[in-house]
Amino acid sequence: MKTTERVLIIGSSGQIGGELTEGLRAIYGNDNVIASDIKDLDKESLKDAAPYETLNVLNGKRLFEIVQKYEITQVYLLAALLSATAEKNPMFAWDLNMNGLFNVLDLAKEGHISKVYWPSSIAVFGPSTPKTSTPQFTIMEPNTVYGISKQTGERWCEYYFNKYGVDVRSIRYPGLIGYKTAPGGGTTDYAVHIYHEAIKNNHYECFLSENTTLPMMYMPDAIKATIDLMHADASKVKIRSSYNLSGMSFSPKEIADEIKNHFPDFTISYKPDSRQLIADSWPQSIDDSAARNDWGWKAQFDLKQMTQDMFSHLVK
Ligand code: AKB
């Protein structure tokens, strides 16, 4: 595709970043999508000729240098500490999740970039939020540092849009499941680990209890939603805090039952740890009618289709 867009992905080695980089390179071409992460690239990945920069998003000067060097027009900011890791280091999580966002929003405010993508999460909701079909606009009293940082980030995104005209777009991701990149430090990570353990050991010990139902989504749906939202006409993006997005909802028991359709001898045991409290504070299902109505969102994968697809790739 011939394009004048130059995209910077911050956090390209993470669970979403890896697949989003691939998806955006397929659209804009390798040279127009600059991957960046805090880690240096390993030797194997360096052979890949596509552009990569080492970047700590808290280093605003270096971020600006990269934006100027590649004449970046859009930034996808994916670097963050997720729910479980953030609880272990609350002050660092707050610093990274908030000041990373400010560094990017300010570049847009000053006119150096024209569009920003920033992910929010179902973690913006808390124990007082309605648990099922959680509405777009509802009570939000998150009780995790990750949730507090995401809710605050949403407020700032909307503020930068209203006050400075920054074209910032966002989705409240549910738990994401994919076979390409490992998740890093979330409460929903079990739903990825369980597939790997089913293949390796025919058994999984789950850190959430058997009936803990959470909203989840298969990665191809999440990547499609992200790209669709960023490509939507600005007039259709009516919510500038963050959009609810729904894929499927299931409990550890339900995913285990689905796995048994492929591996009949698979067994699961339950040993809830501190992540149980986080999961208990989140919704069980999400109402995403605003995303459907505003920019035509619709999920493709349910639990059955996702499991089929996960195993078809992982078994290889
Ligand atoms: C986490 O579990 O922290 C994330 C999320 C739901 O945002 N996957």
As a dihedral over the C-alpha atoms of residue 273, residue 17, residue 153, residue 250, rounded to 10 degrees, the angle is -40
Residues written for the chain: 316
Phi, psi of 166 (to 5 degrees): -70, 125
* Residue 233 β-bridge partners: none
Q: Looking at residue 45, what is its pLDDT?
A: 66
Q: Judge: domain 177-215+248-284+301-314, CATH 1.20.950.
A: no
How far apart are the C-alpha atoms of 96 and 59, rounded to whole Å?
Answer: 10
Which residue out of 176, 217, 250 has the highest number of ligand 1 atoms within 8 Å of its CB and is therefore the one to mutate?
176
Domain-wise residue ranges, the chain = 7-175+217-244, 177-215+248-284+301-314
Which of 124, 222, 121 shows the shortest CA–CA distance to 177? 222
Catalytic site residue from 146, 173, 195, 218: 146
SS3 state at 90 = helix
Cβ density class 56-81: b for 16+ within 10 Å, e for less: ebbebebbbebbeebebbbbbbbbbb
Tell how far the Cα of 101 is from the centroid of ligand 1, in angstroms: 18
Q: In this structure, is the dihedral angle defined by the CA atoms of residues 215, 256, 186 and 15, taken in order, positive or negative? A: negative
Residues 6+ apart with CB under 8 A from 78: 9, 10, 11, 12, 14, 16, 17, 20, 119
Tell how far the Cα of 57 is from the centroid of ligand 1, in angstroms: 20
* Residue 206 β-bridge partners: 270
Asked if 217 contacts 248 with a C-beta cutoff of 8 angstroms, the reply is yes
SS3 state at 235 = helix
Q: Looking at residue 182, what is its pLDDT?
A: 86
Q: Looking at residue 43, what is its pLDDT?
A: 65
Which of 87, 94, 113, 85 shows the shortest CA–CA distance to 10? 113
How far apart are the C-alpha atoms of 227 and 28, rounded to whole Å?
Answer: 12
How far apart are the C-alpha atoms of 43 and 12, rounded to whole Å?
Answer: 16
The tokens of 302 are what?
A: 């349910």
Tell how far the Cα of 120 is from the centroid of ligand 1, in angstroms: 9
Which residue out of 148, 173, 216, 246 has the highest number of ligand 1 atoms within 8 Å of its CB and is therefore the one to mutate?
173
Q: Any idea what the Cα angle at residue 307 is, between residues 302 and 308, rounded to 5°?
A: 105
Tell how far the Cα of 174 is from the centroid of ligand 1, in angstroms: 7
Which residue out of 96, 146, 207, 226 has the highest number of ligand 1 atoms within 8 Å of its CB and is therefore the one to mutate?
146
Pocket lined around ligand 1, Cβ cut-off 6 Å:
82-83, 121-123, 146, 173, 175-176, 186-188
How far apart are the C-alpha atoms of 313 and 316, rounded to whole Å?
Answer: 6
Q: Which ligand 1 atom is nearest residue 86's CA?
A: 3
Type and span of the H or E element at 15 = helix 15-28
Tell how far the Cα of 271 is from the centroid of ligand 1, in angstroms: 19
Which of 302, 300, 275 shows the shortest CA–CA distance to 88? 275
* Tens of pLDDT, residue by residue, the chain (316 residues): 556 899 999 999 999 999 999 999 999 999 999 999 999 887 666 666 799 999 999 999 999 999 999 999 999 999 999 999 999 999 999 999 999 999 999 999 999 999 999 999 999 999 999 999 999 999 999 999 999 999 999 999 999 999 999 999 999 999 999 999 888 899 999 999 999 999 999 999 999 999 999 999 999 999 999 999 999 999 999 999 999 999 999 999 999 999 999 999 999 999 999 999 999 999 999 999 999 999 999 999 999 999 999 999 998 8
Q: Looking at residue 230, what is its pLDDT?
A: 98
Q: Has 204 been annotated as catalytic? A: no
Residues 6+ apart with CB under 8 A from 126: 139, 140, 141, 142, 143, 147, 281
- Residue bearing the CA closest to ligand 1, atom 6: 175
> Hey, which CATH number is domain 7-175+217-244, 3.40.50.300, 3.40.50.720, 3.10.50.40, 3.20.20.190?
3.40.50.720
Asked if 182 contacts 174 with a C-beta cutoff of 8 angstroms, the reply is no
* Residue 217 β-bridge partners: 176
Q: Which ligand 1 atom is nearest residue 150's CA?
A: 7
- Residue bearing the CA closest to ligand 1, atom 4: 186
Tell how far the Cα of 248 is from the centroid of ligand 1, in angstroms: 15
Q: Which ligand 1 atom is nearest residue 188's CA?
A: 2
